[in-house]
Chains A and B, each alone.
Chain A
């Protein structure tokens, strides 16, 4: 896709994108380091190298729009505006986390900004997204739902069901297939018949387009068009974004099965570096961009330090948030 000609307006948008992307990167690098240092419990799925997807899509959403996400959801949450302190505390299992320490990285949610939850089950967010869209319409809202999932999710039944459902009821859903080429330790292409997400969506009557997901400006432009169309009532769309998972599947996976050269080559297409180059070309100063990145790193380091110093959950809260209905009386 050809680069959009630099204008003042674009530069401002790209700076927004850049800030979101470096904040996502800094958040995840900070979390990874804490995890490696043994300070953070549980598994961690990072999206390093995929930040343009979350940033480009969410820049086009309103505060009252909703998103659903998957196991690799830090970026989606940050881009939708989730509070960093609450996210960091959640990753460290602290009381002040968005979920009070009951969810962790894989179940980050921040309903106050319309982030309806990461999901530990591949494709688990798809039915929830279409239902949220149906509910919003019933309530008379014109908010839309963006539904993020990986290329691995398109082989699960809920993908087919959800697309059919959304098309049938013309629901305001933007399906975002974040295609990083892999599903855990397997290349998605090795286990996917046919031409993939776009072809499947089109077969069901959901208009779909494929964009370079490492080109933040291109993602932004495509998402802008599709979000407008979805909000107009044209029914669901699918946006297929080609990207690359630069690190392993989880914090402890080195993805050693991948040829080094493949990863090295992918690094040359790092979405943050590419957007930076484009910004420089459009007249942004190195110092400005460096300052944005430094600010993001400082923000995340401070959030980490605060989370590490924050209180653990009160053990009594293990019993809360189950049901309103009281349990049978204990003897």
Chain B
């Protein structure tokens, strides 16, 4: 056995801060750029960084999303390793050319002459009734995009480990911080090791149903698992942690055992990444081995502001319980 590691209980946002701090101390080529990062960032992700690293490595930028993204890329092309902070995911729409046409393509188009080693941090999802332009979860768009890694952790430890891996990776990593979970606490090792991409986390074990999820919806899934357990239903809950690559093995192995798959995401159900998880799992196992497969996501409407309206479109624990029961009660072998 390894020597016992010191761990601390940290919030998720602090876990990310520690990871970035550790890596900026380790590697002088790592720096961060984005709006207000020298003031600590919108969520305090970079608190104290200016004092620790100075204004050349902690660069508060103009509100110029195209150039935040594109300058990060340019700086990577000459050998630095930028953390590109987008403040709120939705603003990445102002930098789509730089992300989709440039960052994701440049290594391939140029035949491997350059690796754009950037991390793009994008706090996403529903948070404090922020309405339609500050609440989106569009991670499936980026899982669809060749040339990027997509990370979407849900715990402090995973945030820390994946962020360290992202910063050390030569691949461009799109890092979806779950902003609604920034305050959630959990153990984080004092020395943060990189967590490999594409390895899911077993959250709960059970034999009746495989429940697959990622990012901010995980706590609701756990609440749903508790409710189902009280009724004697055992759920295998899997947190994918990264969507590209994603742990097809772990999901297939679980579904091979339970025969039933439910994928839950905060994002809109139609065209969501849940469809890919369902399709790949059935392709791998064959339709005869899967008794039921369903998805639960949001309806295809923008996220409304008013709390009772937001509640209508949000995926919640009771909705997950209902979807789980529907999956369990579904007729065998859909063909």
Residues of A contacting B171 with CB < 8 Å? Answer: 323-325
12 A–B pairs (Cβ distance < 8 Å), ordered by A: A98-B111, A100-B111, A100-B112, A109-B109, A111-B114, A128-B77, A138-B31, A138-B80, A145-B74, A323-B149, A327-B244, A331-B280
Q: Which of B67, B72, B198 has the largest count of A CB atoms less than 10 A from its CB?
A: B67
Which chain A residues (96-130) contact chain B, with CB distance < 8 Å? 97-103, 107, 109-112, 116-117, 119-121, 124, 126-130
Flag if B74 contacts A130 (CB, 8 Å).
Answer: yes
**Does any Cβ of B come within 8 Å of A131's Cβ?**
yes
Bits for A288-323, please: 1 = Cβ < 8 Å to B, else 0.
Answer: 000000000000000000000000000000001111
Give the one of A321, A323, A326 with max B CB within 10 A: A323
- Which residues of chain B have C-beta atoms less than 8 A from A141's C-beta? 78
Q: How far is the CA of A171 from the CA of B259 in the complex (A)?
A: 59
Q: Which residue of B lies closest to A164 (CB)?
A: B62
Judged by a CB distance under 8 angstroms, whether B144 is at the interface is no
Q: Nearest A residue to B98 by beta-carbon distance?
A: A127
- Please report the C-alpha to C-alpha distance between residue A68 and residue B106 in the assembled complex, in whole angstroms: 13
- Shortest CB-to-CB span from B321 to chain A, Å, is 29
For residue A137, CB closer than 8 A to chain B, the reply is yes
Q: How far is the CA of A136 from the CA of B97 in the complex (A)?
A: 23
| Chain B residues near A132 (CB-CB < 8 A) | 74-75, 77-78
Q: Does B300 contact A (CB under 8 A)?
A: no
User: A325 CA to B57 CA in the complex, in Å?
Assistant: 27
CB-based contact B107/A322 at 8 Å: yes
Give the contacting residue for A138; candidates B64, B67, B75, B148; CB below 8 A.
B75
CA distance A169 to B74 in the complex (A): 15
Asked if B176 CB lies within 8 Å of chain A CBs, one says no
Q: In the complex, which residues 161-185 of chain B have their Cβ closer than 8 Å to any Cβ of chain A? A: 169-171
Tell which of B70, B247, B248 touches A127, judged by Cβ atoms closer than 8 Å: B70
Query: How far does the Cβ of A230 sit from chain B's closest Cβ, in whole Å?
Result: 16
Contact between chains at A128 and B102 (CB < 8 Å): yes
Does B125 count as interface, using CB distance less than 8 angstroms? no
Distance between Cα atoms of A321 and B106 in the complex (Å):
9
B6 contacts A by Cβ under 8 Å = no
Number of contacting residues on B, CB 8 A? 56
Q: How far is the CA of A68 from the CA of B283 in the complex (A)?
A: 44
**Identity of the chain A residue whose Cβ is nearest the Cβ of B198 in the assembled complex:** A328
1/0 contact trace for B50-93 toward A, CB 8 Å? 00000011010110101101111111111110100000000000
Name the A residues within 8 Å of B70 (CB-CB). 124, 126-128, 130-131, 158, 162
- From A157, A320, A322, A328, B247 is in contact (CB under 8 Å) with A328
Inter-chain CA distance A67–B75, complex, in Å, is 13
6 smallest A-B Cβ distances: which pairs? A127-B70, A131-B74, A131-B71, A135-B75, A100-B111, A99-B111
Between A134, A145, A157, A326, the greatest number of chain B beta carbons within 10 A of the residue's beta carbon is seen for A134
User: Which chain A residues border B198 with CB–CB below 8 Å?
Assistant: 325-326, 328
What is the minimal beta-carbon distance from A69 to any residue of chain B, in angstroms?
Answer: 12
Question: Would you give the shortest CB distance from B61 to chain A, in whole angstroms?
Answer: 7
Give the number of residue pairs across the A-B interface with Cβ within 8 Å. Answer: 172
Is B306 positioned at the interface, with any CB of A under 8 Å from its CB? no
A127-B69, A129-B74, A161-B64 are known; give 11 further A-B pairs, CB within 8 A: A100-B112, A103-B111, A116-B74, A117-B106, A124-B97, A131-B67, A134-B75, A138-B75, A320-B112, A321-B111, A322-B147
In the complex, chain B residues whose CB is within 8 Å of the CB of A281: none
A107 and B67 form a contact (CB under 8 A): no
Contact A130:B67 (CB < 8 A) given known A124-B97, A135-B76, A323-B147: yes
Is B189 an interface residue, CB under 8 A from the partner?
A: no
Q: Is B284 part of the binding interface, using a Cβ–Cβ cutoff of 8 Å?
A: yes
Q: Please indicate the chain A residues that have their CB under 8 angstroms from the CB of B248 in the complex.
A: 328-329, 331
Is A168 on the interface with B (CB-CB < 8 A)?
A: yes
A66 at the interface (CB under 8 A from B): yes
Contact yes or no, A324 B74, CB < 8 A: no
Q: Which of A103, A112, A121, A165 contacts B67 (CB 8 A)?
A: A165
Report A-chain residues with C-beta under 8 Å of the C-beta of B114.
109, 111, 116
Residues of A within 8 A of B247 (CB): 328
Tell me if A328 and B245 are in contact (CB < 8 A): yes
Q: Is A139 an interface residue (CB 8 A)?
A: yes
Known: A127-B67, A324-B115, A328-B248. A121 touches B77 (CB 8 A): no
In Å, the complex CA distance between A321 and B114 comes to: 9
Contact A324 B66 (CB under 8 A): no
Give complex CA distance A165, B62 in Å: 7
Check A133 for interface membership: any CB of B closer than 8 A.
yes
B62 to chain A, nearest CB (A): 6
Q: Determine if A135 and B74 form an interchain contact, defined as CB atoms under 8 angstroms apart.
A: yes
**Shortest distance from the beta carbon of B17 to any chain A beta carbon, whole Å:** 21
User: What B residues does A99 contact at CB under 8 A?
Assistant: 109-111, 113
Q: Which residue of B lies closest to A129 (CB)?
A: B74
Tell me, rounded to whole Å, the shortest Cβ–Cβ distance linking B182 to chain A: 26
Are B110 and A161 within 8 A (Cβ)?
no
Whether A131 lies near B111 (C-beta < 8 A) is no
What are the interface flags for A16-60 relative to B under an 8 Å C-beta threshold, 1 for contact and 0 otherwise? Answer: 000000000000000000000000000000000000000000000
Residue of A nearest to B55 (CB): A169
Indicate if B25 sits at the interface (CB-CB under 8 A): no
Shortest distance from the beta carbon of A14 to any chain B beta carbon, whole Å: 32
Q: Bound state CA distance, A314 and B171, in angstroms?
A: 24
Q: Which chain A residues lie closer than 8 Å to B113 at the CB level?
A: 98-99, 109-112
Report the separation of the CA atoms of residues A127 and B73 in the bound assembly, to the nearest whole angstrom: 8
